[in-house]
């Protein structure tokens, strides 16, 4: 894959595993410097090492995206080390629900909203002033097809991802004339640890997950990374405020 990038530095949250890891590696393959951020420092370290061992430039930072001071410190570290952040992929997210709406707990609600919504909001809150000061940038937030429609037994998660799209669209409009684009990527079921935690215990569920997608399979992390890189690339210069479904046709049904 070859794309044109005017910028040089990418930051990825939740970069220690799954979609974030694949996207950090994809940015590095394009020659960008990568800030690898995750609450799991060992995982982030391993991804940064993979990039550096392959001849790229990366460093890792431990950041819990629910903590204002940690998000600020992550951006400070990025600026000190690489001077700027051209592309921010706000991807850290969790999914821990198991039942219908009335079976959810307050703790579940606070945890999911904390990471998925407050985390994305805090990241953008600190990234936007930096991008304004440097003259532009691109933000991509990870939503989900659960942010585009109903997700039975995942109502809090679905609400959190609808909120990510709301934050994305509002930020896109507010900063459209300032050289900053803001989009969301909406994966369907992707083969990651999150997917395996949810489906591996019951093979019938895995078959059901594959069948939800007209293409007949779940997605690959590299397929989401490719969409994120497209949204960041110069080829998407006229695309902002968009929630891009990358879903094997699932939302077309």
Ligand X SMILES: NC(=O)c1ccc[n+]([C@@H]2O[C@H](COP(=O)([O-])OP(=O)(O)OC[C@H]3O[C@@H](n4cnc5c(N)ncnc54)[C@H](O)[C@@H]3O)[C@@H](O)[C@H]2O)c1
By annotation, the residues acting in catalysis are 157
Q: Which residue lies nearer to ligand X by CB, 86 or 191?
A: 191
94 binds ligand X (CB under 6 A): yes
H/E stretch holding 190 reads none
Distance CA(236)–CA(203), nearest Å, equals: 39
Mask 45-84, x = binds ligand X (CB under 6 A)?
------------------xxxx------------------
Stretch that binds ligand X, among 17-25, 51-59, 165-173, 235-243 (CB under 6 A): 17-25
What is the strand order of the sheet 33-38 is part of? 58-62, 33-38, 9-13, 87-90, 137-142, 180-187, 243-246
Sole binder of ligand X in the list 48, 190, 206, 250 (CB under 6 A): 190
Distance CA(228)–CA(27), nearest Å, equals: 9
DSSP output for 18-52: HHHHHHHHHHHHTT-EEEEEES-HHHHHHHHHHHH
Residue 159 CB contacts under 8 Å (≥ 6 apart), including other chains? 113
For the bound state, the minimum distance from the C-beta of residue 194 to ligand X, rounded and expressed in Å, comes to 3
Sole binder of ligand X in the list 36, 38, 175, 246 (CB under 6 A): 38
Sole binder of ligand X in the list 3, 8, 29, 40 (CB under 6 A): 40
Stretch that binds ligand X, among 50-58, 96-104, 173-181, 192-200 (CB under 6 A): 192-200
Q: Which residues bind ligand X (CB under 6 A)?
A: 13-14, 16-20, 38-40, 43, 63-66, 91-95, 115, 119, 142, 144, 187, 189-190, 192-195
């Amino acid at each position: 894959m070859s794309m044109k990038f005017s910028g040089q530095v990418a930051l990825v949250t939740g970069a220690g595993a799954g979609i974030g890891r694949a996207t950090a590696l994809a940015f590095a393959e394009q020659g960008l410097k990568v800030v690898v951020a995750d609450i799991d420092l060992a995982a982030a370290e391993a991804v940064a090492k993979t990039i550096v061992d392959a001849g790229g430039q990366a460093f890792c930072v431990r950041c819990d995206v629910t903590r204002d001071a940690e998000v600020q410190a992550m951006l400070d570290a990025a600026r000190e080390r690489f001077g700027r952040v051209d592309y921010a992929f706000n991807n850290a997210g969790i999914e821990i629900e198991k039942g219908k709406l009335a079976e959810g707990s307050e703790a579940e609600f606070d945890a999911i909203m904390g990471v998925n919504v407050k985390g994305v909001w805090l990241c953008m809150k600190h990234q936007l002033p930096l991008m304004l000061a440097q003259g532009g940038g691109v933000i991509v937030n990870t939503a989900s097809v659960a942010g585009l429609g109903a997700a039975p037994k995942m109502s809090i998660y679905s609400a959190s991802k609808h909120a990510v799209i709301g934050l994305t669209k509002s930020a896109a409009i507010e900063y459209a004339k300032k050289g900053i684009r803001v989009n969301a990527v909406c994966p369907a079921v992707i083969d990651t640890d999150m997917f395996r935690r949810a489906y591996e215990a019951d093979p019938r569920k895995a078959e059901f997950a594959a069948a939800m997608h007209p293409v007949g399979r779940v997605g690959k992390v590299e397929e989401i990374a490719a969409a994120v890189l497209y949204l960041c690339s110069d080829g998407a210069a006229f695309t902002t405020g968009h929630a891009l479904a990358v879903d094997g046709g699932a939302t077309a049904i």
